[in-house]
Amino acid sequence: MVTTGVFFSKIFKGKDWPIIGDKFRNFPEVLKNVLELPNVQLYESPPVDEELLRKVHDSELLEQTKNAWYYEGALRAVGGCVRAAEMVWRGELRNALVFTVAAGHHAGPSSAWGGTYLSSLGPTVRYLREKYGVRKFTILDTDSHHGDGDRAMFMGDKDVLHVCFCSSNAVEDDGTKVDVDVGWKTTDDKYLKLIEEEFVPRVRRFQPQMVFHFLGHDTCEGDYGDRGLSPSFFIELVKVVKRCSEEVCEGRYVILTGGGSRIDVAEYIFPKIVELLAMDD
């Protein structure tokens, strides 16, 4: 049976993480029902190998980050991502949801800010290329904010299609780096239409071997990146991206939790997302 992996660490709860706070304080308990599904497996996120971090980050950045209280959380967030992607590539998992703190899309090679102090995808892509020769990746970023760190990490790398839904329109790096302006106030339907029009056709043309999704829910109404979306939007979004991944890369789809500090939204969407990932189509 092909399984959906859920990557979490006990250290992600009970701490006031930068920007997102203690939004995982009731995890993984709130996933109890879905973790009982026969094809869902929970894993403890391991810390990433620091040697791998040195391949994508400047030493000055790493020295600063090492001294921060959130470093251990960031190491495990990145390590969970690397492990999840490896298991998906090896066919040991069909897809995965990776919980993250203190790491993510605002971390580039030499600067990091906004609650994310290590790159999750820089080390992951590097690792899969070196160990398994995987070349082509797509990154979808639907956090409210521009994924400047991931953009800097992969600029000039035309084997990475980075499609970022934020506040500007841009197409650069021979069409492999794309920004889509979703507007400050939008609706679930309008946003999903943009995904169908601006993301899906590009992934079909690009034909990646794996799809990563930085899924911030700070876009939800009442959160700090509010764009007027409802909690159920995130479920519909994952449906579309999962279908697309199944069409282009045998369902190799790895979701990273991104921004968002509404605990009720996190507790509502992530069990449903795991259930959806585990569902046969």
Residues that bind Zn ion (CB under 5 A): 143-146, 164, 166, 179, 216, 218, 225, 259
Shortest approach of Zn ion to residue 141 CB, angstroms? 7
Shortest approach of Zn ion to residue 59 CB, angstroms? 27
Shortest approach of Zn ion to residue 164 CB, angstroms? 3
Q: Toward Zn ion, which CB reaches closer, 146 or 213?
A: 146
Q: Toward Zn ion, which CB reaches closer, 198 or 267?
A: 198
Q: Toward Zn ion, which CB reaches closer, 150 or 267?
A: 150
Q: What is the DSSP string of 178-240?
A: EEEE--SS--HHHHHHHIIIIIHHHHHHH--SEEEEEE--TTBTTSTT--SB-TTHHHHHHHH
Q: Toward Zn ion, which CB reaches closer, 109 or 114?
A: 114
Q: Calculate the CA 92 to chain-centre distance.
A: 19
Distance from first CA to last CA of the chain, Å, rounded?
14
Q: Toward Zn ion, which CB reaches closer, 99 or 127?
A: 99
Amino acid identity at 173:
D
According to DSSP, the residues that pair with 165 across neighbouring strands are 180
Q: Toward Zn ion, which CB reaches closer, 94 or 162?
A: 162
β pairing state of 4-8 and 160-166: unpaired
Shortest approach of Zn ion to residue 34 CB, angstroms? 25
Q: Which two tokens stand for residue 178?
A: 């794309």
Q: Which two tokens stand for residue 268?
A: 């509502």
According to DSSP, the residues that pair with 254 across neighbouring strands are 96, 212
β pairing state of 40-44 and 137-141: unpaired
Shortest approach of Zn ion to residue 189 CB, angstroms? 21
Shortest approach of Zn ion to residue 179 CB, angstroms? 4
